[in-house]
Amino acid sequence: MSDTESPQRTLPQVVAATAAALPGHIAMIDGDVTLTYAELDAARIEAARAFLAAGLKQGERIAIWAPNIWQWVVAAIGAQSIGGVLVPLNTRLKGAEAGFILRRSGARWLFTVGEFLGMRYPQLLQGEELPALEEIVLLEGQAPGTRSWADFLSAGADASAAEVQARADRLTPADTLDILFTSGTTGQPKGVVTSHGQNIRAFETWSATVGLTEQDNYLIINPFFHSFGYKAGWLAAIIRGARMLPVKQFDLDAVLAQIHRERVSVIPGPPTIYQSMLTHPNRGDYDLSSLRLAVTGAAPVPVSLIEKMRNELGFKVVVTAYGLTESCGVISICRPEDSAERISHSSGRAMAGVEMKCVDAEGNTVPAGTEGEIWCRGYNVMQGYLDDPAETARTITADGWLRTGDVGVMDEDGYVRITDRIKDMFIVGGFNCYPAEIENSLHSMPGVARAAVIGVPDERMGEVACAWIVPAPDAALDEEAVIAWSRQNMANYKVPRQVRFVSELPMNAGGKVLKNELRQRAAAEQQG
């Protein structure tokens, strides 16, 4: 399919069009399971019939809480084909965190697995009040009180394929495709609502810009619950007809072996992935000559790393991009022809059909080379936050500009360099961490009077959480106890790796914690 060809406007049209154009082309290899695009389309229709039989109505939500497996994609596109709305859940969430999103989204079905990396997902939800949730379906594994994926599918055997097609035909580009939950400064996750048309246009543009083709073997390392693994991952692959190779659990030796075996050409991910590949002692044992395209971001990428990726790993194209959940995951992209310096020092320029600018505190555009908050406007801006018009109005201006909360500098060619984050967010191993959310959890720990969280540099993860805690009177707290409690109650990437106990937190006259002062203290500690 050519870069200019974009007749598909809803997800079922995308899948059907690729299946019609490339029926015998392999769509996905996941362990022992291989699906051609014709078989993926047939699996989509089978799943859609099962959803029809289960009573899924247009606009109702289905949640998926599972690692990168082929059933994840089939369940998602099956529901989305008849107007169901996808709600992905981070596999690292604990029961209370997942319960909040399930309640907030009103999901009627949850698709999960019996166990993954020691997490027994159905068990984690015991004790959670989930009034809307009717059924838990296991894509893999076993758990009491759940239904198997095979049983769910078989219940749709008598459902009408013609009705599936009729429901798909009634979908419009403006219909909601998904709700991805992102955390924010309030500490409560917010549901970002986006449509079929927005996402398909965004990733038709993204995949054409980075040069993804039907000849590519795409190793999808990023998790499906994240925009990078879902939208820039399997959705982009389906749009282009590329072969998907989902990675369930990242293991460098297994990844190198897979590159060698499957002739992988495309790898996305944070810079740490490529650094690990470069320093692997047995890299020479694997044939990596098939590597062609690397898409990175989420952390600064040194010029030296880009040059090594090109010269030592053989990547012909290395690109960085910038986006957020509220922009369908993408705003700006570097171009394949950009220099290593430009790729290292910027996150690209706005993709076609999207505007981007830097503004001052009053919303006035600042001159090129001057720091300001990044705003974007275009078809990719979310429809809004789920059931939260006030927060939506605070985030999107009356004339349609999305306030990203990120500070950057734009050059005269429109390339943007991210310099700071207004929202205090920091990135742990590619995952966004929001201090307010961690603080909210810590405030529920017995013995904690007040807590403030900052990101501090970490050689392996990029940044990690450092918690500053004011203990309650007579509380017997130590670093070990706080970390152990955190591991029990929050996703691993959010867990503070360092804890500091103080009698009081530095605050301004309005009672707001002075995070910059905490950062200065932490930096002084490291230097000392």
Sheet holding 147-148, edge to edge: 147-148, 135-140, 109-113, 61-65, 85-88, 176-182, 190-195, 384-385
The tokens for 257 are: 């072996």
CA dist 435 and 426 (Å) reads 8
Q: Domain spanning 250-421: which superfamily?
A: ANL, N-terminal domain (3.40.50.12780)
Here the tokens at position 323 are 């986006």
CB-count exposure of residue 141 (10 Å: 0-12, 13-18, 19+) = middle
Question: Token digits for 285?
Answer: 């044992």
Domain boundaries, the chain: 11-192, 250-421, 426-527
- Please report the pLDDT score of residue 300 as a whole number: 65
Q: Are 324 and 395 in contact (CB under 8 A)?
A: no
Kind of pairing between the strands at 431-433 and 402-410: unpaired
Q: What is the pTM of this model?
A: 0.85
Beta partners for residue 464, in sequence order: 456
In 322-428, which residue ranges form alpha helices assigned H by DSSP? Answer: 340-345, 389-395
Q: Which two tokens stand for residue 180?
A: 């991805």
> How far is CA 14 from each of CA 7, 10, 31, 216, 375, rounded to the nearest angstrom?
8, 6, 25, 18, 30
Residues 6 or more apart in contact with residue 510 via CB below 8 angstroms: none
Amino acid, single-letter form, for residue 279: T
Long-range contacts of 124-131 (CB under 8 A, 24+ apart): 124/94, 124/95, 124/98, 125/95, 125/98, 125/99, 126/95, 127/95, 128/95, 128/96, 128/98, 128/99, 128/102, 128/103, 129/99, 129/103, 130/99, 130/102, 130/103, 131/103
Helices 37-54, 11-21: crossing angle, 10 deg rounding = 150
- Distance from chain centroid for Cα 221: 11
Strands 293-296, 266-268: pairing kind: parallel
DSSP letter string, 50-62 = HHHHHTPPTT-EE
CATH topology of domain 426-527: GMP Synthetase; Chain A, domain 3 (3.30.300)
CB 388 within 8 A of CB 104: no
Domain 11-192 sits in CATH at 3.40.50.980
Give CA 76 to chain center in angstroms.
15
Read out DSSP for 11-31?
A: HHHHHHHHHHHSTTSEEEEET
Supply the pLDDT for residue 107.
Answer: 98
Task: Divide the 528 residues of the chain into consecutive groups of 10 and give the mean pLDDT of each group.
Answer: 53 97 98 98 98 98 98 98 97 94 98 96 96 97 96 96 97 97 74 97 96 97 93 97 96 95 93 86 95 82 87 94 94 92 90 96 94 95 97 97 93 89 79 81 88 90 93 90 94 94 81 82 85
Report the distance separating Cα 114 and Cα 71, nearest Å.
14
Which of 7, 44, 51, 10 has its CA nearest to residue 27?
Answer: 44
Same fold, 11-192 and 426-527: no
Q: What angle do CA 181, 147, 94 make, to 5 degrees?
A: 35
Distance between CA atoms of residues 242 and 265, nearest Å: 10
Which CA distances in Å does 342 have to 182, 205, 319, 337, 477? 29, 21, 10, 10, 48
Burial (Cβ within 10 Å: 0-12, 13-18, ≥19) of residue 212: buried
Query: What pLDDT is attached to residue 2?
Result: 39
| Strands 147-148, 33-36: pairing kind | unpaired
Query: What token pair was written down for 421?
Result: 């984050």
Q: Which residues of 293-323 are buried (b: 16+ CB within 10 A; e: fewer)?
A: bbbbbbeebeeebbebbeeebebebbbbbbb
What is the per-residue pLDDT for 184?
Answer: 54
434, 187 contact by CB (below 8 A): yes
Cα(1)–Cα(17) distance, rounded to whole angstroms? 10
**Nearest to 486, CA basis, from 432, 430, 437:** 437
User: For the chain, first and last CA: distance in Å?
Assistant: 58
CA–CA distance from 298 to each of 5, 92, 428, 454, 455 (Å)?
30, 18, 9, 17, 14
Contacts of 474 (CB under 8 A, 6+ apart): none
Q: Mind giving me the DSSP string for 253-282?
A: HHHHHHHHHHT--EEE--HHHHHHHHH-TT
